[in-house]
Structure 1
Amino acid sequence: MGADVRPGDRTERGAPRMSEQLLGAEPFFNLVDEGWVPVLDTAGRSREVSLREAFHQADEIVTLTGELPTQSVALLRLLLAVLHRATDGPRQVGHWADVRDDWGGTLEAVDGYLDHFHDRFWLQHPEQPFMQVPDLRTAKDEVFGLSRIVCDGPGTSTFLTTRVGADLDTATWPEAARWLLHAHAYDVSGIHSGGVGDPRVKGGKGYGIGTGWAGQIGAIHLVGETLRDTLLLNLLAPDAVGMQIDVDADLPVWERAPLTVLPEGWHPDDDSGRSYRQPTGPVDLYTWPTRRIRLFGTRERATGVINAQGDRATPQNRFTVESMTAWRYSEPQTKAAGQVTYMPLKHDAARSFWRGLEALLPHTSRPVKPGGPDRRRPPALAAWVAELRTDGHLDDRLLRWRAVGIEYGSNESVFDEIVADEIVLPVALLADRVLAQEAVDAVDAAEKAVYALGSLAQNVALAAGGSPESDGPREQVSVRAYAALDQEFRRWVPTLTASADAAERRASWHRTVLRLVSSLADEVVDAAGPAALVGRTSGGQFRDAGLALHWFRKRVREVLPHARPTGRSGPETEEAA
């Protein structure tokens, strides 16, 4: 067993040494020509296409698939990097419209680009294998099973297991290509193999530099009816959304010097304290090489891998170069940096995507304090959609937004949970400040009503003699309430179109929320035992089930004032828990 075993790893004893797994000096398996990108086409067939075919058949492909949702995100970001560079932009909105309207010309540009960089897409190559280091080795010449780069299987996230037995350690070459890309995007942090020649290695170990870049963000992207639509919707012009990058310097990994064991820009005589290079733009980050990897195998299968540390990218204030995530204001990071600092807003597996709508919609975030910075910054993609609509290049259709991310555990050294959710929103919400605020206010009203319902459950439990230290009753009924509201909100929010009557839509939502939380409140009271009906004093205040219901009804009248024609109720009084 190697010296750099990480939590969740399955390093094999007696793993074959390098000389037993070399494919030879001839290039093998080119991603431009070989089928490896998994897709679902319009005929309902699942198949694998090459990079070139992904573009040429984009109108016949419904979506990218893969073993995990995160794998499809990594594949989308790769395709976008190709499309950005092949079209030399887009530089502005008009250029984007040309790329869309002259799709035949766009395909010619993609073909020319892929032909030009064809030699950089060999999965096995003696000098420049795709996203790998050809001579990467450890001091003991260890080679490990592919479990080192696969995001499922025993010890990593068993609920995601799609591979068993020998398939945990070997793979077909198309599978290996996908997991290679996924490892750069989402690999866990922690100790990795120590590559010979890397000054950061101590005692044969490469100590943690963080997860893959995509694992540090809460990835958000648009989903069209076909792959062509999806690519175009996510193909933004950085200058048009205020990213202000040097497009000519924003290069993918295959347009940079071939990877070596060292981080890019380092030299063999550098020490481990040298600074890492900074990301140049979205294309750079779409293919950021977080790891140094080398695949081994036969012509039939990939059978081994070395996975070492690569280039580090830090997340602070990367909204100037990353387009696919929302951002949250960080007070600790702001104090440490001496300037306003935003961090990527990661997805929460326990919180539906729609409940974080404020972070997605422009012009709706509240300041952290009066006159202070906004709590949230929307993803550049949201500003891009607004720009397309304002310039007349996008009609008032419904757009699918997909949120995908990973929750890590144990100091980010293991995969805990995949987060994947979608919401359909009218384009008008991205460009119309009033409609956007209606949507955000609707979320806020629902959360306040659920909080009132939780207080009812807590008060009933206290009236029955429950412990004031337990939040169980609140948490249980809140989970039920959000489950009931989830589909209702997803049905309601697409009705906020440019032609909608905002006041009528607001009243409709308030009525829906009132109906659902009132029904659950009745269930809570009906289930209360005799002790809750009699009541008791807790925390210096008497409460019983009847009082708890009275407080609840009064509170929901205040937070849902448009549910009834009578409007707002009187001033708030004390309500206990």
Structure 2
Amino acid sequence: MDKKSFNLVTEPWIQVLDKNGNPKEVSLLDVFEDAASYQRLAGDMASQDLVILRLLVAILTTVYSRVDANGEVYEWLTLDEKMHVKEADEEDYEYDDLVNTWQLLYKNGQFSKSVAQYLKENSSKFDFLGDAPFYQVNKEVYDQEVPANKKVNIKSLKGTVDIKQINRTISESNNSPSIFSPKTRQTKNEVNMAQLVRWIITYQGFTGVTDKTKVNSKKKFSVSAGWLYGLNPVFAQGENLFQTLMLNLVFSEEYRVEKPFWEFENAVEYIEFLKDEPFARDLSISTLYTLWSRMLHIEWIDDEPIIFTAGLPKLDSTEAFVEPMTTWRRNKKTGEVYPATKHLTDLTKAMWRNFGQYVRTTDSDELEDMHEPEIIKWLRNVQDSEYLPTDTSLTLRTTTLISDGNATSQSPVVEVNDQFRIKADVLFDKNDKDYWPEDIENMIDLTQQVGKDFWIFTNNISKLRGLDGTDFADNSTAKFYESLNLPFLTWLASLRNDQERTAKTVEWKNILKKVAIIKAEEVLKNASPRDIIGQESSKEEGSGINNIFTIFNWYKLNVFRHIK
């Protein structure tokens, strides 16, 4: 293996699907030049694709916050020969100029030559095996930034992490073997160079906190588990990779100098910057999209990578609205807003059921606790500017890794990957009276009310059978919602802005009623003689016999009453 250079600008390492659905590895130059020819990113897992997407968008954000679609530098900026910002007159910043740049790029269906120019001018910063290796530091910097007893030592291998641990399809430490690994024990630490690059970048976003080594610092700090670990991601997917990159290319109304990590003078300057624990809200989009959680150094022994790692500080994410790709939650005690995160308890809840977290469902001030994701605000802006065709269908996606919930490990245990499709003029409805998002949210609220009815129904059946706990009701209700996922997503995608709202809401009510009765009847089919005979009702329930049929009748009554 050639250890001298592996430059990501020209070497193939990004995995995509071509027009025919075949996987292909391409370089940074290739991916931007032919983005419209590829369906989508197709790496080792969906959460890895999200990390790579953010890296690609960081490059685009950096370039097009400095030059327009024709390669002309904006009037308020002065750039150097590497297209870095030398001077900026913030008072002359014109947000509309960036929006116009976005429109021209989207209309042209391809990126301008400025992206390739930027990559070529800065190619030395993208060499994975260079003197300043990409997303890593060299040995000199590593030894300088860690305690003396944690310096690089290939004999003791203190402070190292195995490939099988950063490979998030395995995530195996030496203390806890991965039972359902996609690789055999002998091959868990085997990767080619392209795979290694992708996993190193992914590891910076989803890390865990099992590391024993921290960078030197005068003050104590909490080690970062990776910025993406602290988000509930949301992003847009287009008909091809070009559209996906463009739909997620967000510009800030407030001027910020875009500064991905490779534009810092050197690795030491960047690490010192992180040690100061800046507020995330003060950073630029590209800084967050390329944020390190670990200082990594790779030693190559007999062509095999030995990865040394040291923890970096966790940034304060309070009101970090510069981050476009997340939903938000408000702390009711302090009033502060933080990125929402997903937990193991969220696994059974599909993305559509949280519709109100992704878009404001009413124009009133009733939703004062709701802060829309910045990506949604941006897409509404370009839709309002008529830069997206009115019949454009948007696919909003979420994908992330969920940790084990253990504060001392935060190891990933499951990947969540979900989406829903909706027309842009429905999502960003301009009607004051007949507002589609409000009607959609009302149908979701109704669906969840019927879901509660179903839980009560199955819980009553559970009691009738003398079962302890709510496992039967919980599992049955999860399956109930699973059976609604495809019908609701199909209904949501069918909505148009020129439709009669009432007719479409009635359509969903009829679907919901049908599914609600069918799923309950499935429970009846498994009735035992004991269920049919029943038992005497309790005092709270009133007099008479309580059996599976009386419980079913009460359930139907509640469903019909709620659906009307």
| Fold agreement, TM-score > 0.5 | yes
Equivalent residue, structure 2, for 1:574? none
Question: In structure 2, which of residues 391, 401, 405 is the aligned counterpart of residue 406 of structure 1?
Answer: 401
Instruction: State whether structure 2 residue 228 is matched by structure 1 residue 234.
Output: no
CA contact (8 A) 2:230 2:339 kept: no
Q: 1:277 to 1:355 in 2, by over 3 A?
A: closer
Q: Which runs of 4+ in 1 moved over 6 A?
A: none
Q: 1:266 to 1:516 in 2, by over 3 A?
A: closer
Q: 1:373 to 1:159 in 2, by over 3 A?
A: farther
Alignment of 1:195-214 (within 5 A): 195=215, 197-198=216-217, 208-214=222-228
Per-residue deviation, 1:305: 0.5
Equivalent residue, structure 2, for 1:541? 541
Equivalent residue, structure 1, for 2:163? 146
Equivalent residue, structure 2, for 1:97? 103
Equivalent residue, structure 2, for 1:360? 358
Question: In structure 1, which of residues 293, 298, 317 is the aligned counterpart of residue 296 of structure 2?
Answer: 293
Equivalent residue, structure 2, for 1:125? 130
Q: Which amino acid aligns with 2:383?
A: R
Equivalent residue, structure 2, for 1:263? 271
Equivalent residue, structure 2, for 1:378? 372
Q: Which amino acid aligns with 2:13?
A: W
Q: Take 1:116 and 1:559, find their aligned partners in 2: how far apart are those partners?
A: 63
Q: Is the partner of 1:28 in helix, strand or coil?
A: coil
Deviations 1:243-278 (A, max 9, x none): x3x332x311111232239833378xxxxxx64454
Q: Which amino acid aligns with 1:303?
A: P
Q: Is the partner of 2:6 in helix, strand or coil?
A: strand
Instruction: State whether structure 2 residue 419 is matched by structure 1 residue 422.
Output: yes
CA RMSD of aligned residues (A): 2.8
Equivalent residue, structure 1, for 2:307? 305
Q: 1:466 to 1:289 in 2, by over 3 A?
A: closer
Q: Is the partner of 2:401 in helix, strand or coil?
A: strand
TM-score normalised over the length of structure 2: 0.83
Q: 1:302 to 1:31 in 2, by over 3 A?
A: farther
Equivalent residue, structure 1, for 2:121? 116
Q: Take 1:229 and 1:157, find their aligned partners in 2: how far apart are those partners?
A: 40
**Which stretch shifts more, 47-56 or 472-481?**
472-481
Equivalent residue, structure 2, for 1:83? 60
**Structure 2 residue runs without a partner (length 5+):** 69-94, 144-149
Q: Is the partner of 1:292 in helix, strand or coil?
A: strand
Per-residue deviation, 1:364: 4.2
Q: Which amino acid aligns with 1:117?
A: N
Per-residue deviation, 1:224: 1.1
Equivalent residue, structure 1, for 2:147? none
CA contact (8 A) 1:190 1:209 kept: no
Equivalent residue, structure 2, for 1:69? 46
Q: Which amino acid aligns with 2:440?
A: A
Per-residue deviation, 1:115: 1.6
Deviations 1:302-358 (A, max 9, x none): 42101211242233222x211011112233xxx3xx443333243732211111111
Q: Which amino acid aligns with 1:535?
A: Q
CA contact (8 A) 2:5 2:130 kept: yes
CA contact (8 A) 1:295 1:304 kept: yes
Q: Take 2:485 and 2:179, find their aligned partners in 1: how far apart are those partners?
A: 24
Q: 1:58 to 1:550 in 2, by over 3 A?
A: same
Q: Which amino acid aligns with 2:351?
A: F
Q: Take 1:304 and 1:95, find their aligned partners in 2: how far apart are those partners?
A: 44
Q: Take 2:367 and 2:236, find their aligned partners in 1: how far apart are those partners?
A: 31
Q: Take 1:216 and 1:498, find their aligned partners in 2: how far apart are those partners?
A: 35
Q: Is the partner of 2:490 in helix, strand or coil?
A: helix
Q: Take 1:534 and 1:129, find their aligned partners in 2: how far apart are those partners?
A: 72
Per-residue deviation, 1:151: 1.6
Q: Take 1:76 and 1:356, find their aligned partners in 2: how far apart are those partners?
A: 24
Instruction: State whether structure 2 residue 482 is matched by structure 1 residue 488.
Output: no
Q: Take 1:157 and 1:361, find their aligned partners in 2: how far apart are those partners?
A: 41
**Structure 1 residue runs without a partner (length 5+):** 1-20, 202-206, 268-273, 562-577
TM-score normalised over the length of structure 1: 0.81
Instruction: State whether structure 2 residue 252 is matched by structure 1 residue 247.
Output: no
Q: Take 1:120 and 1:62, find their aligned partners in 2: how far apart are those partners?
A: 28
CA contact (8 A) 2:277 2:315 kept: no
Q: Which amino acid aligns with 1:479?
A: A
CA contact (8 A) 1:122 1:129 kept: yes
Q: 1:108 to 1:262 in 2, by over 3 A?
A: closer
Instruction: State whether structure 2 residue 205 is matched by structure 1 residue 185.
Output: yes
CA contact (8 A) 1:122 1:130 kept: yes
Q: Take 1:308 and 1:179, find their aligned partners in 2: how far apart are those partners?
A: 17
Q: Take 1:123 and 1:73, find their aligned partners in 2: how far apart are those partners?
A: 20
Equivalent residue, structure 2, for 1:438? 439
- Identity level (%): 20
Q: Take 2:298 and 2:362, find their aligned partners in 1: how far apart are those partners?
A: 47
Q: Take 2:539 and 2:297, find their aligned partners in 1: how far apart are those partners?
A: 63
Q: Take 2:224 and 2:307, find their aligned partners in 1: how far apart are those partners?
A: 20
Q: Which amino acid aligns with 1:483?
A: E
Q: Take 2:180 and 2:9, find their aligned partners in 1: how far apart are those partners?
A: 29
Q: Is the partner of 2:29 in helix, strand or coil?
A: helix
Q: Take 1:415 and 1:466, find their aligned partners in 2: how far apart are those partners?
A: 33
Per-residue deviation, 1:184: 0.9
Q: Is the partner of 1:308 in helix, strand or coil?
A: strand
CA contact (8 A) 1:218 1:326 kept: yes
Per-residue deviation, 1:429: 2.8
Per-residue deviation, 1:505: 0.6
Q: 1:309 to 1:200 in 2, by over 3 A?
A: farther
Q: Take 2:52 and 2:232, find their aligned partners in 1: how far apart are those partners?
A: 16
CA contact (8 A) 1:454 1:475 kept: yes
Q: 1:157 to 1:101 in 2, by over 3 A?
A: farther
Alignment of 1:558-569 (within 5 A): 558-561=561-564
Q: 1:87 to 1:262 in 2, by over 3 A?
A: closer
Q: Which amino acid aligns with 2:373?
A: P
Q: 1:327 to 1:177 in 2, by over 3 A?
A: same
User: How many residues in Structure 1 have an aligned counterpart in Structure 2?
Assistant: 505
Per-residue deviation, 1:185: 0.9
Q: Is the partner of 2:36 in helix, strand or coil?
A: coil
Per-residue deviation, 1:181: 0.6
